[in-house]
Homo-oligomer: A and B are copies of this chain.
Amino acid sequence: MNILITGGAGFLGSRLARELLQRGHLGSRRIERVMLADLVAPRDATLVNDARVQTQAGDLQASLPALFAQRWDAVFHLASAVSAECEADFDLGLHANLDTTRRLLDACRQQTLQGHPAPMFFFSSSVAVYGSDPALPLPAVVGDDTLPTPQSSYGIHKFVCEQLVADYTRKGFIDGRAARLMTVSVRPGRPNGAASGFLSGMLREPLAGQPSNCPVPLDTPVALSSPATTIAGIIAVAEASREAFGGRTAINLPALSLRVSDMLDALAAFAGREATALVSHEPDAATARIVAGWPSLFHSPRAQALGLRADPDFHSVLRQYAQDHPDAVTLPAARARLTTAH
């Protein structure tokens, strides 16, 4: 089978591609080809050197004619403009997230209308669809049937595209499944400007012997998912039968609910007090307000029914990061962890 991954040069897209290529199949079908489409070409050596990998760099909407010169059995649509971009440039957000998704759905539809089976279409939605509308505050626990009232353009775009995916699926044009990804931690790489950035940086920088800041109160509740658990969720949703997925409404992927203090406790247990000593506590009211608006507790029977489970604890999340990125872990106590069975 042939698989198209949009956002394929990004952190999650590349990780998804590596996982799929390593498995060699999706469901019962052997993977022949994986196309990574993104603004830039992927640099990951494992991907670049795999004969099954093709790449297409450039604006996704402009790339669609070239991409759909081939036929796709499965599409993972991860590409999107992020929250801050959408708030800064309203038209860019609508173009990148809404219009491009619509054109991609239409390209899949044309393929189906030519007589091919409707492709599996995974749409990467986000927990950012949830926000507290002034008149409709979020419930303490977000369920599969909680009404999203997005409070950002990014969240609006994701929720709108969920609806389009549902309708293209109802019409038989695609076999669509939308899943809402949780905040991913620990992300590798450099600090970014996202409000959620500290939820990775607060761990990643100290593990590399660098200082980092925690801008929110220690008792702030958050909901997280490790990269591996996130990718496992994406693949499970893509492999589920339609009956098992259940309906056409987006699913919430599982989340590990904890407090920021729990994350720092896990960091101390994993890498010692010299790690947490690198974390400063300069409050940032704007970030604290944004993060406080995010849901932190979920009841997700649909994800459970698919066999999906949240990360068991944050210690395992830190261990996963250190194993996946050994070169980025330079703090002595943390390095010692890498050489033990623990």
A-side residues, CB < 8 A to B, are: 90, 94, 102, 133-136, 144-151, 153, 156, 159-160, 163-164, 166-167, 170-171, 245-249, 302
Contacts and interface: CB of A to CB of B under 8 A. Distances in A.
B164 A248 contact: no
B167 A135 contact: no
Contacts of A249: 133, 135-136, 147, 149
Contacts of A136: 144-145, 247, 249
A89 to B, nearest CB: 12
A99 to B, nearest CB: 9
A88 to B, nearest CB: 12
Contact of A167 (B146, B153, B167, B247): B153
A166 B156 contact: yes
Contact of A134 (B149, B160, B247): B247
A102 B134 CA distance: 24
Nearest to A139: B145
Query: How many copies, total?
Result: 2
A177 to B, nearest CB: 12
19 contacts: A90-B171, A133-B248, A134-B246, A135-B245, A135-B302, A136-B144, A136-B247, A136-B249, A146-B147, A147-B249, A149-B166, A149-B247, A149-B248, A150-B166, A151-B170, A153-B167, A156-B164, A159-B163, A160-B160
A92 B11 CA distance: 38
B247 A133 contact: yes
Contacts of A90: 171
A159 B159 CA distance: 10
Nearest to A158: B163
Contacts of A171: 90, 153
A90 B148 CA distance: 26
A249 to B, nearest CB: 5
Contacts of A151: 170
Contacts of A102: 94
Nearest to A248: B133
A97 to B, nearest CB: 11
Contacts of A147: 145-148, 249
A87 B227 CA distance: 40
